[in-house]
């Protein structure tokens, strides 16, 4: 009974529900912006890399490697606390969007590129032999197959990175975790944290189940 | 042999002193070959003799190291960028591995280059695709995905895909080598039909029976050079060089 | 440019904060060892559970995996650290981090192991059973060695994620690498310690990230 009182207190829930709802909206739009920016940047980088010019490949690979190797929180702190010293002050949401879409782009570039290299050479040859240009062959033949191969890992990675919007709580973004943490210290009850966990489950559990479905659907051999 | 015939005809495909090196390895050493309009030229030879490389040089999937290639009097070897893409429209190619696009239906496979490279209107491209698919006997599979077809059917779709672009010449790179024996016949039947319609064809293949029966001329390559060329009766019935003799002996032994 | 070097690449401040960061790195290493070790063991158990034909093993295992893949690790950490004390479970920061990330990571490792085990041809298990090996022996001697080899890049990439994840421990004031660097930053009003921490993470993780890319390229070439 004390357990319910501590973690599922109805009065506390009712009190903080409006705050939490607006925090959910914040988490959702941040996630959407990060997904769109990160995936499109990653795709664009993979396409540029397929041109095979070293002066494009080198910086793209460096970006993808660093983006995958650095803990995002380190970069978030550097941007949030360091940049104002140079006269560049970015808001918490701006830093979060910048860093997380960059990280997603780094992973997405690698996944799209791995997909492109997995498309058999004969597909390129068939396209070029029928008079299609390099760009046409890339966009009509190679990329659709590469994206299809990349969908399961992309969904998993996109999921992992949108979950990182919770890192916004460290730099004052009013998303789910930060709102429920402060509610927890105000109310002296663990209930807001339970609400946060439930809110995240409501958002991400369908995504996890979807990723299972996609993995089964797209696990075909070329 | 090189003396002009009384009725002089410009070759459809002309390969002059073609050379190809991969690093230090010389794969093709000065190949000369002419294919007349409507002629079916068959290229045979042991694996590693350079036959496929020669074929792939004809549409520049492989970049020649030296020499020139002309299609109906136009230089293939001088083309760059978009001009090369346009030139490739006139050179149909059929691969050993079919290379149908797995994410597109049979119909879309045949329509893609018509729409994007040839810029045909959609209705026309579709009509042409259906025409070519019925030509290879697969109109009823238009909406199927490539993975639902047998190897022989996939290869016939690949032939239709190339034909739909109205090429002046068709290159066949071991079109039946990846097929189960019982499926080879259906592909050869389509090729024979093409020949009877007057298509110019250059075929690299191990189907000796088909060469004997359908080829106008047979070219034997070995070690990157053309060793012997002539009508099939001469090549198979009266081989001159030792290399051709031992090749034919090995092949007929393997076929037994 | 001078400003930038002074604020982000200040050698003097880096040198001064070096001992503190090194100490933090030690704690990061301990965290990694604990989370990776427990995560691998837990993940293997969970994956065997999820693949079991017995429903009472299978469904709880899958529910556990999906639940902890859906909740952001930082939310889990805050819940364990600030929420559980309400239920009388007071953990030290180190223990809280290990528990929270164990829950998160065993779920991720489980998915990798599951994919690996499923990638081994069915005939392998049949051949092993046909030669008189027990089910457990077949798993240990025949299936798992092949499974692990097949998913080595994914295991490695998940391990890289664990190392990056430990930086979140700074949020509950555990003095690991990032926390130490951020302390040094707030004392010196200079971001160089954070950059130094980033460089340390890069030095450790970049080679691994490169290796993963190489592996994936190799697999794609098959």
Per residue in B99-127, pLDDT (tens digit) is: 998 888 999 999 999 998 889 999 999 99
Which DSSP string corresponds to B51-78?
Answer: HHHHHHHHTTSS--SEEEEEETTEESTT
Contact A/C (≥3 CB pairs under 8 Å): yes
Binding partners of A (≥3 Cβ pairs within 8 A): B, C
Query: C-alpha dihedral over C65, C68, C69, C75, to 10 degrees?
Result: 180
- Measured in whole angstroms, the distance separating CA B43 from the mean position of its chain's CA atoms is 10
**Rounded to an integer, what distance in angstroms lies between the CA atom of residue B204 and that of residue B174?**
5
Q: What is the DSSP letter of A87?
A: T
Q: Which residue has the higher pLDDT, A210 or A4?
A: A210
Q: Which ipTM did the prediction report?
A: 0.90
Q: Is the pLDDT of residue A21 over 70?
A: yes
Binding partners of B (≥3 Cβ pairs within 8 A): A
B68: closest CA among B27, B32, B28? B32
Q: Is the pLDDT of residue A222 over 80?
A: no
**Rounded to an integer, what distance in angstroms lies between the CA atom of residue B52 and that of residue A61?**
35
- Measured in whole angstroms, the distance separating CA C45 from the mean position of its chain's CA atoms is 16
**Rounded to an integer, what distance in angstroms lies between the CA atom of residue B194 and that of residue B171?**
12
pLDDT band at A1 (very low <50, low <70, confident <90, very high): low
Contact A/B (≥3 CB pairs under 8 Å): yes
pLDDT band at A108 (very low <50, low <70, confident <90, very high): very high
CA distance C182 to chain A (A): 8
Residue-wise pLDDT tens digits, A109-150 = 999 999 999 999 999 999 999 999 999 999 999 999 999 888
Q: What is the 3-state secondary structure (H, E, C) of chain C?
A: CHHHHHHHCCHHHHHHHHHHHHHHHHHHHHHHHHHHHHHHHHHHHHHHHHCCCCHHHHHHHHHHHHHHHHCCHHHHHHHHHHHHHHHCCCCCHHHHHHHHHHHHHHHHHHHHHHHHHHHCCHHHHHHHHHCCCCHHHHHHHHHHHHHHHHCHHHHHHHHHHHHHHHHHHHHHCCCCHHHHHHHHHHHHCCCHHHHHHHHHHHHHHHHHHHHHHHHHHHHHCC
Binding partners of C (≥3 Cβ pairs within 8 A): A
Alpha helices in A70-142 (DSSP H): 72-77, 92-118, 121-129, 134-136
Average pLDDT over residues C97-101: 95
Is A118 within 8 Å of chain B by CB?
no
Is A139 within 8 Å of chain B by CB?
no
C58: closest CA among C50, C66, C46? C50
Q: What percent of chain C has pLDDT over 70?
A: 96
Give the pLDDT of residue A86. Answer: 87
pLDDT band at A220 (very low <50, low <70, confident <90, very high): very low
Residue-wise pLDDT tens digits, A145-194 = 999 888 888 988 999 999 999 999 999 899 999 999 988 888 888 899 99
Residue-wise pLDDT tens digits, B26-80 = 999 999 999 999 999 999 999 888 999 999 999 999 999 999 999 999 999 998 8
CB-based contact A70 C195, cutoff 8 Å: no
Give the pLDDT of residue A218. Answer: 62
Average pLDDT over residues B187-200: 94
pLDDT band at C132 (very low <50, low <70, confident <90, very high): low
pLDDT band at A49 (very low <50, low <70, confident <90, very high): very high
- Written as six digits, the tokens of A86 are 């140079």
- Written as six digits, the tokens of A45 are 């980088």
pLDDT band at B6 (very low <50, low <70, confident <90, very high): very low
Give the pLDDT of residue A200. Answer: 93
Which DSSP string corresponds to chain B?
Answer: --SPPSS----SEEEEEEEEEETTEEEEEEEEEEE-TT-EEEEE--TTSSHHHHHHHHTTSS--SEEEEEETTEESTT--HHHHHHHHHTEEEE-TT----TTS-HHHHHHHHHHHTS---HHHHHHHHHHHHHHTT-GGGTTS-GGGS-HHHHHHHHHHHHHTT--SEEEEESTTTTS-HHHHHHHHHHHHHHHHTT-EEEEE---HHHHHHH-SEEEEEETTEEEEEE-HHHHHHS--SHHHHHHHHHHHHHH-
Average pLDDT over residues C97-106: 95
**End-to-end Cα spacing for chain C:** 48
Average pLDDT over residues B175-198: 93
Contact C/B (≥3 CB pairs under 8 Å): no
Q: Which residues of chain B neighbour A136 with C-beta distances below 8 Å?
A: 116-117
CA distance C134 to chain A (A): 29
For the beta carbon of residue A37, count every other beta carbon within 10 angstroms: 17
CB pairs under 8 A between A and B: 68
Q: Is the pLDDT of residue A61 over 60?
A: yes
CB-based contact C220 A114, cutoff 8 Å: yes
Q: Name the residue among A131, A140, A220 with its Cβ closest to that of B88.
A: A131
pLDDT band at C126 (very low <50, low <70, confident <90, very high): confident
CA distance A112 to chain B (A): 16
For the beta carbon of residue A42, count every other beta carbon within 10 angstroms: 27
C114: closest CA among C20, C48, C174? C48
Q: Which residue has the higher pLDDT, A5 or A209?
A: A209
Q: What percent of chain A has pLDDT over 90?
A: 68
Among A49-58, C99-108, C210-219, the range scoring the smallest mean pLDDT is: C210-219
CB-based contact A85 C3, cutoff 8 Å: yes
CA atoms within 13 Å, Cβ hemisphere of B166: 7
Q: Is the pLDDT of residue B236 over 60?
A: yes
CB-based contact A133 B82, cutoff 8 Å: yes
Give the pLDDT of residue B123. Answer: 96
Q: What percent of chain B has pLDDT over 90?
A: 81
Is A6 within 8 Å of chain C by CB?
yes
Give the pLDDT of residue A102. Answer: 97
Is A84 within 8 Å of chain C by CB?
no
pLDDT band at A4 (very low <50, low <70, confident <90, very high): confident
Are the CB atoms for B43 and B164 separated by under 8 Å? no
Give the pLDDT of residue A153. Answer: 86
Chain mean pLDDT for chain C: 90
Residue of B nearest to A136 (CA): B116
Give the pLDDT of residue C167. Answer: 95
Average pLDDT over residues B198-202: 95
Give the pLDDT of residue B3. Answer: 46
Is A65 within 8 Å of chain C by CB?
yes
- With tokens 């380190």, the residue in question is A74
Give the pLDDT of residue A166. Answer: 94
Query: C-alpha dihedral over C85, C88, C93, C96, to 10 degrees?
Result: -90
CB-based contact A184 C201, cutoff 8 Å: no
Strands B13-22 and B66-71: antiparallel
Give the pLDDT of residue A128. Answer: 93
Give the list of residues 6+ apart from residue A202 with CB closer than 8 angstroms, or none: none
- Measured in whole angstroms, the distance separating CA B203 from the mean position of its chain's CA atoms is 4
Q: Is the pLDDT of residue B97 over 60?
A: yes
Give the pLDDT of residue A152. Answer: 83
């Amino acid at each position: 009974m004390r357990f319910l009182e501590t973690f599922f207190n109805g009065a506390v829930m009712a009190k903080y529900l409006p705050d939490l709802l607006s925090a959910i909206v914040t988490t959702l739009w941040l996630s959407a912006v990060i997904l769109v920016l990160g995936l499109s940047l990653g795709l664009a980088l993979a396409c540029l890399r397929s041109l095979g010019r070293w002066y494009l490949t080198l910086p793209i690979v460096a970006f993808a490697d660093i983006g995958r190797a650095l803990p995002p929180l380190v970069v978030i702190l550097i941007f949030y606390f360091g940049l104002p010293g140079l006269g560049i002050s970015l808001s918490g949401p701006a830093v979060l969007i910048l860093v997380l879409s960059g990280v997603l782009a780094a992973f997405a570039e690698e996944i799209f590129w791995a997909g492109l290299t997995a498309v058999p050479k004969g597909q390129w040859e068939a396209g070029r032999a029928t008079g299609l240009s390099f760009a046409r062959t890339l966009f009509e033949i190679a990329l659709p197959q590469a994206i299809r191969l990349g969908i399961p890992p992309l969904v998993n990675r996109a999921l992992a990175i949108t979950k990182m919007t919770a890192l916004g709580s460290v730099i004052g973004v009013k998303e789910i975790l930060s709102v429920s943490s402060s509610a927890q210290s105000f109310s002296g009850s663990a209930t807001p944290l339970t609400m946060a966990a439930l809110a995240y489950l409501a958002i991400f559990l369908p995504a996890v189940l979807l990723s299972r479905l996609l993995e089964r659907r797209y696990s075909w051999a070329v | 042999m090189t003396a002009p015939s009384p009725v002089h005809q410009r070759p459809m495909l002309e390969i002059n002193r073609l050379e190809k090196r991969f690093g230090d390895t010389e794969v093709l050493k000065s190949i000369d070959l002419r294919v007349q309009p409507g002629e079916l030229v068959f290229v045979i030879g042991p694996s590693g003799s350079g036959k496929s490389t020669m074929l792939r040089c004809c549409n520049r999937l492989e970049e020649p190291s030296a020499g020139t290639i002309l299609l109906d009097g136009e230089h293939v070897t001088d083309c760059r960028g978009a001009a090369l893409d346009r030139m490739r429209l006139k050179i149909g190619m059929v691969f050993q591995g079919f290379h149908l696009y797995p994410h597109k239906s049979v119909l879309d496979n045949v329509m893609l280059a018509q729409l994007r490279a040839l810029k045909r209107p959609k209705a026309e491209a579709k009509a042409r695709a259906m025409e070519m698919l019925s030509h290879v006997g697969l109109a009823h599979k238009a909406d199927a995905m490539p993975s639902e077809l047998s190897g022989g059917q996939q290869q016939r779709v690949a032939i239709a895909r190339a034909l739909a672009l109205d090429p002046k010449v068709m290159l066949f790179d071991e079109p039946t080598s990846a097929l189960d024996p019982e499926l080879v016949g259906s592909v050869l039947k389509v090729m024979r039909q093409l020949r009877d319609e007057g298509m110019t064809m250059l075929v690299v293949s191990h189907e000796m029976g088909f060469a004997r029966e359908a080829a106008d001329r047979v070219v034997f390559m070995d070690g990157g050079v053309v060793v012997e060329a002539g009508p099939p009766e001469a090549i198979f019935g009266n081989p001159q060089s030792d290399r051709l003799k031992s090749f034919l002996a090995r092949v007929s032994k393997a076929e037994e | 440019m001078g400003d930038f070097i002074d604020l982000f690449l200040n050698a003097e401040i880096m040198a001064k904060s070096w001992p503190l960061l090194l100490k933090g790195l030690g704690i990061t290493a301990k965290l990694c060892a604990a989370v990776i070790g427990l995560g691998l063991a837990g993940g293997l158990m969970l994956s065997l559970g999820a693949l079991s034909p017995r429903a009472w093993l299978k469904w709880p295992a899958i529910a556990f995996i999906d639940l902890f893949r859906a909740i952001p690790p930082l939310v889990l950490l805050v819940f364990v650290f600030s929420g559980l004390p309400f239920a009388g479970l007071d953990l030290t920061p180190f223990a809280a981090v290990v528990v929270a990330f164990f829950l998160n990571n065993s779920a991720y490792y489980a998915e990798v192991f599951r994919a690996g085990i499923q990638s081994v041809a069915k005939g392998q298990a049949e051949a092993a059973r046909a030669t008189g090996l027990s089910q457990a022996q077949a798993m240990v001697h025949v299936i798992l060695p092949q499974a692990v080899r097949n998913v080595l890049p994914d295991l490695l990439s998940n391990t890289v994620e664990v190392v990056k994840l430990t930086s979140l421990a700074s949020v509950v004031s555990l003095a690991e690498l990032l926390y130490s660097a951020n302390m040094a930053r707030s004392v010196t009003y200079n971001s160089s310690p954070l950059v130094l921490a980033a460089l340390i993470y890069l030095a450790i993780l970049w080679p691994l990230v490169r290796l993963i890319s190489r592996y994936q390229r190799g697999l794609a070439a098959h």
